Amino acid sequence: MSSALASVQLPKGTTTIGKTFDFEAGHRLPDLPPEHKCSRQHGHSYQVEVILTAPALAAPGFVTDFGALAPFKEFLDSQLDHRNLHEVLPVSPTSELLAQFLAGWFIQHLQPDIPGRLVAVRVRETERSWARFDVEEQ
């Protein structure tokens, strides 16, 4: 290693990572007035991004190994993909509540077994529309 590279001091700080997953699903929002387009059945190509942080990196220098997030993708595929979300979720299938629900699932099922802490979940219904749920620090 060159001395110019070896002399770089690593600053203190927090590292954040994100990983995006996708699934296809339909839904409707029955609590809306009948004339609202979202009260009718429609579908989205959802993108879900999980954002994690850690004050110190785990060996070999990870917040969390991206491979350790595979159970989240398995959950999306087995429970939400190609489903009517209003029929399977315990909350109204708005992007906002879906993001909060997925954060809860992640914290309950994955966070105890990984070194990083979930910061937020972002759910994107379309290229231009998304909702983000920020987890309060515990």
Which residue out of 36, 42, 82, 109 is catalytically annotated?
82
Partner residues linked to 45 by β-bridges: 24
Residue 129 to residue 138: CA distance in whole angstroms:
29
Beta bridge partners, 114, equal none
Query: Is 49 among the residues known to form the active site?
Result: no
Contact between 66 and 58 (Cβ < 8 Å): no
Q: Respond yes or no: is residue 109 known to be catalytic.
A: no
125 included as an active-site residue: yes
Q: Which of 38, 49, 86, 96 is catalytic?
A: 38
Which residues does the annotation mark as catalytic?
38, 82, 125
